[in-house]
Amino acid sequence: MHLNKKFPGKRVVITGAGSGLGRALALEFAKRNWNIAIAEINNERARETAEMVKQEGGKPLVVHCDVTKPEDLDNVLKKVLKEWHGVDILINNAGVASAGWFEKIPLEKWDWIIGLNTNSIIHGCRSFIPYFKERKSGYIVNVASNAGIASLPEMASYNATKAAAISLTETLRIELSASNIGVSVVCPTFFKTNLMDQFSSPDERQRQLADTFFGNAKVTSEKVAHHTIKSIEKNRFYIITQKDGRNMWRMKRWTPELYFKIFGLIYKTGFFDRHLVKLLKVLNVVG
């Protein structure tokens, strides 16, 4: 069903909407004349998004929010209820990226990324679910990553936070169906954003690899945002936005033993490093 028919109130909250996918989602909703709460830690970026939202025909509301703080998500709900007298969609999008050989990832970096990528989603859901349940209406979109499915090497901490995001969203899909609340999880592969700004890795190697992936990605955040909104309209649960991600997902589900054998072999032989860009081209990730 068309999004504006499904939610005539047209009110969405997007965390991390100051950049990348969050901003692109805000602009997609703006084109549909929605009220958009930009729940963002970076005030300057939030203001930039708000200006862009206005130009596209949307109505922005900037709410300073650090998704690692549960009280900030409570405050976002309070603010939008005061301003809009209701809310229809929550998108838990804010997140960061990390990489590194498992044994080299400092414990404090585990805490950092779990706080930002997993606890952030828990906080958003905890704040908004009681309100959606009371109304017997609403939609929650959690932004995970294909990393939570593919489990590629040297990315344990990022993979684990995104796998947790997928698992908790799967649970909510069933649990909240009884209350007429829609739930989806977005699992993109690489696309160009500012995600490298806060990227953390103990070795330079992983930063260079990540730079190659992000730098050469041919998919844009606008494309991922458009695909996401179209999928919400269809009430799709797994929103796997790119072809390479869908291929990996199918391969792992249908032939899990083979999946780990092939990726293990690619990694062990160093093929991955030597032919990275060629491999990405074959997988249709880069242009």
Ligand X SMILES: NC(=O)c1ccc[n+]([C@@H]2O[C@H](COP(=O)([O-])OP(=O)(O)OC[C@H]3O[C@@H](n4cnc5c(N)ncnc54)[C@H](O)[C@@H]3O)[C@@H](O)[C@H]2O)c1
d(CA 116, CA 128): 18
Q: Which of 35, 145, 157, 159 binds ligand X (CB under 6 A)?
A: 145
x/- mask, ligand X, residues 62-101, rule CB under 6 A, reads ---xxxx------------------------xxx-x----
Phi and psi at residue 146, to the nearest 5°? -65, -20
Q: Which of 10, 11, 14, 20 binds ligand X (CB under 6 A)?
A: 20
Span 103-122, contacts to ligand X by CB under 6 A? 116
Give the shortest CB-39-to-ligand X separation in angstroms: 7
Q: Which of 7, 22, 29, 164 binds ligand X (CB under 6 A)?
A: 22
Phi and psi at residue 108, to the nearest 5°? -65, -25
d(CA 260, CA 9): 46
Establish whether 158 is a catalytic residue: yes
State yes or no: residue 123 binds ligand X (CB under 6 A).
no
- In the bound state with ligand X, the residue whose beta carbon lies nearer, of 135 and 218, is 218
Q: In which residue are the tokens 């090497």 written?
A: 153
- Residues 164, 100, 287, 272: is their CA dihedral positive or negative? negative
d(CA 20, CA 278): 26
For ligand X (CB under 6 A), the number of binding residues is 29
Give the shortest CB-187-to-ligand X separation in angstroms: 7
Candidate ranges 127-135, 176-184, 185-193, 203-211; the one touching ligand X (CB under 6 A): 185-193
Residues 6+ apart with CB under 8 A from 279: 266, 271, 272
Instruction: Pick the closest to residue 70 from 122, 18, 2 (CA basis).
Output: 122
Token pair for 24: 């692109």
Rounded to whole angstroms, the maximal C-alpha distance in the chain is 58
State yes or no: residue 157 binds ligand X (CB under 6 A).
no
State yes or no: residue 53 binds ligand X (CB under 6 A).
no
- Catalytic site positions: 158
Residues lying near ligand X in the complex (CB under 6 A)? 15-16, 18-22, 40-42, 45, 65-68, 93-95, 97, 116, 143, 145, 188, 190-191, 193-195, 197
